[in-house]
Every structure is written in C-alpha cells, then in structure tokens.
Structure 1
Amino acid sequence: MKYLSSFISIAVIAPLFSTSAFATTGYFMHAYSVKSQGNAGTAIANFQDSLTIASNPAGLSWLDKRVDAGLTIFSPDRESEITGNGYGANGQYDGNSRKYFVIPDVGYVHPVNEQVTAGIAVYGNGGMNTNYKNNPYAVYDNTGSAGISLTQAFISPALSWKYAENQSIALAANILYQRFSAQGFAGDVFGGASSNGAAISDRGNDDSYGVGARIGWSAKPNDKLTLGASYSSKINASRFKKYEGLFAKQGDFDVPESYGVGLNYQLTPALSVATDYLRINYSDVDSVGNKLDQLFANNKFGTTQGPGFGWDDINVYKISATYQASEKLTLRAGYSYNDQPVKNDQTFLNILAPGVVQEHLSVGATWQLDDQQNVSVAYTHALKETVQGNNSIPADFGGGEANLSMSQNILGVSYSLNF
C-alpha cells in the first residue's frame, strides 16, 4: 500500500506539470488509455482498464482490483498558409517548433464489496499547441514567434454501484486543472481589437481550475452483449485573468459538455467488436464557439460576446475489433471519424489552433507477462486533413484566405497490474 500510495501521488502530479498535448478530436483526446487507443477510443461499453473512468465510470463494476499506468507520445504536424492577403501576410507557415509531447495517465480500481467499486483516474483531457517561428501575424504589428499552449488535466475519483446482477450506474468527479499561454499577437492591430490590449498575448502561463461530473450506466443483457452510456457536464472553470483581453467573458475558458453511447459484442470466443457514438458541444463555450464575426458587431476580444475560434459541435463515430490471438497475446484495431469543428470561414484565428483532424486509424496489442501483469502498446495515425479558407480573413485584416492542415502520429505504452 505504501508503494501504491507513492505511485498514485507521482501519477497525480505528473500530468499537471507536463507540456501541452495536442489532442485529436477537436482538442479532446480520442482515447484515454493505451488499450483504448488500440481500439480507436471505443470505451463506453468496452471496459479494459481503470481509465474507463474517463469514458464511462460504470465500467468499474466489471473490473477487478488493479492499477494501470501509461505514457503516450504525440507527434502532430501543424501547417498553415495565407493567400491573397492585401497586407502582405502571404506565405507557408510551420507551427511545429515543438514536435513531441508526452502525456502520462494512471488509474486504480478497488472493489469495496460485491455491489460497490471505487476508483480514481488521472489523465490529460486534451489541449492545443502551436508555435510559429515565422509569425503569420507579423504584418499586423506583431513581433517574435506566435502560438498558443493549452493543457487540460483531470483527477477523477469515482464510485460505481452494481444495482442489479447485470447493470451498474456510476458517478465520477471531474476535477480540472488547465494551463494556457499565448504569444505573438500583442501588437497594435490585435491589441486595438481587444477590450484589454495588455492582456491578449505574451503574458506567460496562467492557470485555471474547475469541477464537473461524469455519470455512467452499463448493462450486460447476456454473456455476449455489453451496453454503455455516459454524460459529462460542462465545467465552469475559473478565468484566465492574464488573458482576459483574449477570451470571451474576460478570460473565461470552460470545458464543454459531452455525452455518448456504446456497444460491445462478443462475436466469437476470440473476437469482439465495439462501437461508440460521442457528442462534444464546443459551441456552448463562448471562447471556443463564438465566431470572429463578433468583432465587427462591436464585440471586442475579451468582452461578454467577444470573438472565439468559431468551433462547431461535433459528432464522433468509432468502431473497433479485439482479437485474442493466443493465451498471452491480444490484438486490437480501430477507426474513428469526427465532424469538422473548424469551418472554412473561421480559419484565420485558427492558425493558432488548427484542430482539423477527422480520421484516425489505430492498432494495438497486449502481452500477458503472467497471471497478474501485462504490457500494452498502441499506434494511431491521424490522417492529414486540410481546411481551405473561404472568406476567412476579414477585409480589415487585408482579406484573402487562411488554409489549415494537420496530421498526427501517436504512440502509447502502458503497464497493468491485477491484484
């Protein structure tokens, strides 16, 4: 227990001070554990480890006492292009000053009795990172490199109640820590478009906190079929005060609500298939959903109705297969697709946040070391996606188009111990 306590403490601290991740479903993670990564994130009814808390905490009722810990390496490729701009901003821009990001995760499951199971998970919820050494906004009186860095991490304690032989419900707290910084657009043009030009960029790191909830349900109608549903509330986080001249509502940056359903079916003793549907309501967060057009309706950056990144709500669809190749080896594969959150008339500001990826292909495997221990690996490739701007740069900024592209490679490794 002393070892376990130290292990959990380190795992809780590590994500909070890690560098920013660049998530794949908008700015949410597409999967919250390495095993789930191998299945393209199908986890609402596919309960493989303690990180099920991040997708559907009701899955705890179907797990034994265990610890899971993983490391995921993100390698995103972010590119932008400006064409037809009257102020001379035209060019190709590479946002990859930093190419690799490491995200840890850890979870613990503890059955209390035959009906109640407790657990805790610590994981990165998502984030966004760009750094352009060649500043795409330089012609607007900005100097130095440009970019943003957003990290979101959750600590989620959970309780699951198996209220019937084949059903469970659960509640998890989503304790949020997030950190943000921005640089490279503090000049007179952007500053003049802000309610507080001294708090729009180049203020260093700022921290924010909040608490929300996730509820889950699961059922096993028979020995082949598993069903699941999950809902995560919107988190009203504390404001980024250093950036009250950038985000709407004087620095407000909340976590949007999300919800989904899933199904897992055992086709044969060795082969199962799973599918998830997930909805993320980005537009409910004003600093994310408000369009740049707000600027020309007398709503400056940082005001109550101030501009945001213009992101739309998205639907996410996932499907995967898991195959027990031998007593020791499990193989996984999956595919996911999500709607495009960044519309082609909102690409100008999203040079800073080109979260345009839509398709993911995943493979993974688990090797059983002995009766209690196993190791897992997973690889995901987020296919390159390009959004071509259409009336994307306002005339006040010289007109023209901003085009965005992104792809990703994701590699994860984890270790699991069953007690």
Structure 2
Amino acid sequence: MNVARKILGLVFCLALTPSLALATNGDNLIGVGSISRAMGGVGIANPQDAVSAVFSNPAAMCFGGFCPSNEVDFMGTVFTPHIKADISAAGGSYSSHSGEKSYTMPAIGISYEIPEVRNLRFGLGAYATSGMGVDYRDRGIDVKPAAWGGTAPLASGTYTELGVMKFAPTVAYQFADWLSLGAAMHIDYSTLDMGAGTSDGYGVGGEFGVILKPHDKVNIGLTYITAQEVKYSRVADFDGDSKLDDLKLASPQQVGFGVSYTPIPKLLLETDVKWVNWSDAKGYKEFDWDDQWVFGVGVQYKPIDSLALRAGYNYGQNPVKKHTINGLSNVNVQGKTMNNYYYETFRLVGFPAIAEQHVTFGVGYDVSSRFAIHAGYMHAFSNSITETGVDITGAAARIKSTMSEDSYEFGLSWRF
C-alpha cells in the first residue's frame, strides 16, 4: 500500500500540470499511452496497459493485457505540428508557417486490484487529452494591411493555445468471466490563451464502460463519455468593443465501440469506432463544428514473448465545416457580435483541427517480468481547408489552412 500511496501522489501532482496538445481527431488525441497510440488509438475492447484502460474504457481494467497484475505506466508524447496559413484579401496575398515547437505531453495511469474485494479494481490516470495551438505572431499574416487604413488586422486567431489535462479516478468490477463494468470521474483542468493572457478553468464529467467476453479470443467494449464544460474568462475581444470577452468550451459527449480478436496468442487485432458530438458541444457548436466518426484499427504481434511489434491506422473526418466568407455580415458567438470575416479566420487559422488520416508504429520490450519499455511514432498526413468570399471591404477573399503532424511516443510499465 505504501507504493500505491506514492504513485497516487505522483498522479495528483501531474494532474495539476496543464499541457498543450496539437490533437488529431478534432482537438482530441487519437489515444493516450504509447501502446494505444502505436496501434491507431484503439483500446476500447482490449487495452494493453493501465493508462489506456483508464482513458479508453474503465471496465477494461479487469480484462486488460496487464491482468491479473497491478500496473503503473509512465508515458510521454512529443508532438511536432506543421501548420501553414494563406490569406488573400485587402488587395494582397499573405502566407506564413506557424511557429513550429515541439510539445511534450505526459500521461500516467495505475490499475490496482483491491485485496479485500476480489474482482474489484481501482484505477487512476492523469493525462493530456485535447488541445490546439498556433503562433503567427510577427509572421507573414500578422499584419494590418494599408488597404484597410493600417488599423484593422488581417486575421484573428493568430495566436491560440488550448490545453486540457484530465485527472480520472476509476473503478471496475468483474461480475463474471465474461462481463466487467467500470466508471471513471473526469476532473478537467484546462488553459486557454488567445493572445490576451492565459485563462484557466475546471470541468467535471464521467465515463462509463462495459466489457463483454463472449469467447476466449474475443473482447467487445462499449463506452460513453459525458460532455464537460469549462468557462474561460477574458480571453478575446470578439465584438471589437475593446473589452475582453469570456468563452465557454465543452469537451463533447462521445460514444465508443470496440472489438478485439486474438486468433493466436502472439497476435492481437483490434478495431474501434467513436462518435464525437462536436455539434452540440458548447463553443464548438458556435464555431460550427460537425459531428465526427472516428475509426481506428491496430495490430500487435509478438515474434518472441518479450518483444511486441505494433502498427495502426486512424481516420476521423475533419469536423470544421467549410463556409462562404461574408465580411459584410456578422455572426453571434455566445452573445457577442463578431464580424464574419474575422469569425472565419478565427475558425480556420486559429483552430485548424483538420487532420484526418494517421498511421502509427511502435515497439515494446519486456526488460523483465516486472518492467517493460515502449516506443512509437505517429504521422498525420497533410490536409487543408479553403474558404472563399469577400473581406470586410467587400473585396474578394480567400483563406486556407494546411496542417500535418508527427509525434514520438515513449513509455515505461511497471507491474507489481
């Protein structure tokens, strides 16, 4: 129990540390943990480590690849986004790459069997789950065109930074050899900076899951995650009245379904499907995001007992709807009147959550019966979105954002 208490303390400290993520299914990560991310983000039916069990399906703590041991995972992801904006308006054409930085995102998870209650497991996780950011400050599109009198900016959203960290206490109970139920409480700590300083806030929600095992070789998982709203104070001047406005953003409700199949002991095949309800999530619905279907497939093969080779593919359709720009009209954003041209630059330039296709690879090695190390790589292929219309003067306008991503995964698992 002393070991468990120390680990819980570390998890709590980590949960208080916000982290920026350039995410890939909308502004959500495809998965959490080195193993899941190396397998296309799957894990609803058969996660292979504690952190992805807590994240993907709390019921899976009773059927995970680490069972019947207790396990703690220390994971990390280094994200490198590549983002470019092109704007034609105000009698000129402007182009710039966002400042390219690498972002390190930690994750830690634990699954622990309660000795006094057979088949009952407690879990805890702290991990970055979503976020986004661009930095065009002092770059090609961060100008005030002379054609507009040198006072109006070319674009809004030239600097954004959103990070969401979750702290998730979890419980799961195995009712039978073929059935496990689990639940997790999500406590979100989130930060948002749109160039006027960082605002932070908290949100609360839950995740509920079930695992069915109709056959020794087959797992079926189902999950539901509630929407989780956070209010950010004084983050941007949306209506141009020289006063900073508040903004509410909600992590959307999600439904997930997964199936895994183990045809032979050395081979694991898994697929996940998720529905993400962006269109009803506070903030995202005002910026007209569409609901998203996410599909992931992953494979793990062990040529020898101590070595695991992993690969996967993940697809999630871009949720950012394409509009026609009309800089001579306005839109309403949570009670504030915003010019349509700046609304569209904010959507496309400031929050270009448009990545769709991802390939992933990874490897794991058991150093001993207690320790394993993991490494992985993800590439999100380049995708772009383009809108045309008129700017604030009525002249022809065109906005284009392009992005791709690379990430590098590393992790350590300890069983005790």
Q: TM-score normalized by structure 1?
A: 0.85
Partner of 2:278 in structure 1?
282
Deviation of residue 125 (structure 1)?
A: 1.1
Superposition pairs for residues 116-155 of structure 1, below 5 Å? 116-133=120-137, 134=139, 136=141, 138-139=143-144, 141-142=152-153, 146-155=158-167
Deviation of residue 137 (structure 1)?
A: 5.4
Superposition pairs for residues 355-374 of structure 1, below 5 Å? 355-374=353-372
1:13 aligns with 2:8: no
Equivalent pair of 2:217/2:262 in contact (CA under 8 Å):
yes
Distance 1:215 1:365 in 2: 30
Partner of 2:178 in structure 1?
166
Superposition pairs for residues 270-419 of structure 1, below 5 Å? 270-290=266-286, 308=287, 310-345=288-323, 348-349=345-346, 350-391=348-389, 394-395=391-392, 398-419=395-416
Cα distance change on mapping 1:160 and 1:15 into 2, 3 Å: closer
Deviation of residue 27 (structure 1)?
A: 0.4
Cα-to-partner distance string for 1:281-333 (whole Å, 9 max, x where unaligned): 1111242122xxxxxxxxxxxxxxxxx3x211110011111101112101110
Gaps of 5+ in 1: 184-201, 291-307
Deviation of residue 69 (structure 1)?
A: 0.7
Cα distance change on mapping 1:147 and 1:410 into 2, 3 Å: same
Work out which of the residue numbers 86, 90, 93 in structure 1 matches 2:93: 90
Cα distance change on mapping 1:396 and 1:114 into 2, 3 Å: farther
Equivalent pair of 2:378/2:408 in contact (CA under 8 Å):
yes
Deviation of residue 417 (structure 1)?
A: 0.6
Distance 1:99 1:220 in 2: 43
Equivalent pair of 1:169/1:217 in contact (CA under 8 Å):
yes
The code of the aligned residue for 1:45 comes to A
Distance 2:234 2:110 in 1: 36
Structure having the larger proportion of residues in strand: 2
Equivalent pair of 2:39/2:310 in contact (CA under 8 Å):
yes
Partner SS, residue 12 of structure 2:
helix
1:100 aligns with 2:93: no
Distance 2:160 2:56 in 1: 27
Deviation of residue 136 (structure 1)?
A: 2.6
Distance 1:59 1:388 in 2: 41
Deviation of residue 89 (structure 1)?
A: 5.6
Equivalent pair of 1:344/1:390 in contact (CA under 8 Å):
no
Partner of 2:55 in structure 1?
54
Distance 2:258 2:157 in 1: 43
Distance 1:372 1:403 in 2: 50
Distance 1:177 1:209 in 2: 5
Partner SS, residue 30 of structure 2:
coil
Cα distance change on mapping 1:408 and 1:244 into 2, 3 Å: closer
Work out which of the residue numbers 207, 215, 224 in structure 1 matches 2:208: 215
Distance 1:315 1:130 in 2: 25
Distance 1:93 1:2 in 2: 53
Cα distance change on mapping 1:397 and 1:147 into 2, 3 Å: farther
The code of the aligned residue for 1:73 comes to V
**How many correspondences in the alignment?**
377
The code of the aligned residue for 1:105 comes to A
Deviation of residue 101 (structure 1)?
A: 0.1
Distance 1:141 1:382 in 2: 35
Question: CA RMSD for the aligned pairs?
Answer: 2.3
The code of the aligned residue for 1:104 comes to P
Distance 2:236 2:157 in 1: 21
User: Which consecutive segments of 4 or more residues in structure 1 shift more than 6 A?
Assistant: none
Distance 1:274 1:126 in 2: 23
Cα distance change on mapping 1:12 and 1:399 into 2, 3 Å: farther
Cα distance change on mapping 1:396 and 1:341 into 2, 3 Å: farther
Cα-to-partner distance string for 1:249-293 (whole Å, 9 max, x where unaligned): 942111111111000001222112100001111111242122xxx
The code of the aligned residue for 1:36 comes to S
Partner of 2:72 in structure 1?
67
Distance 2:394 2:365 in 1: 55
Work out which of the residue numbers 233, 252, 262 in structure 1 matches 2:258: 262
Partner SS, residue 249 of structure 2:
coil
Structure having the larger proportion of residues in helix: 1
Partner SS, residue 220 of structure 1:
strand
Deviation of residue 11 (structure 1)?
A: 4.0
Deviation of residue 17 (structure 1)?
A: 3.0
Distance 1:117 1:229 in 2: 18
Partner SS, residue 407 of structure 1:
strand
Partner SS, residue 331 of structure 1:
strand
Equivalent pair of 1:135/1:145 in contact (CA under 8 Å):
no
Cα-to-partner distance string for 1:36-71 (whole Å, 9 max, x where unaligned): 011010110122111211111000112331100111
Superposition pairs for residues 241-252 of structure 1, below 5 Å? 241-243=233-235, 245-246=237-238, 250-252=246-248
Distance 1:65 1:372 in 2: 10
The code of the aligned residue for 1:93 comes to S
Partner SS, residue 340 of structure 1:
coil
Q: TM-score normalized by structure 2?
A: 0.85
1:31 aligns with 2:31: yes
Distance 1:71 1:363 in 2: 15
Deviation of residue 404 (structure 1)?
A: 1.1
Partner SS, residue 162 of structure 1:
strand
Deviation of residue 91 (structure 1)?
A: 1.4
Partner of 1:299 in structure 2?
none
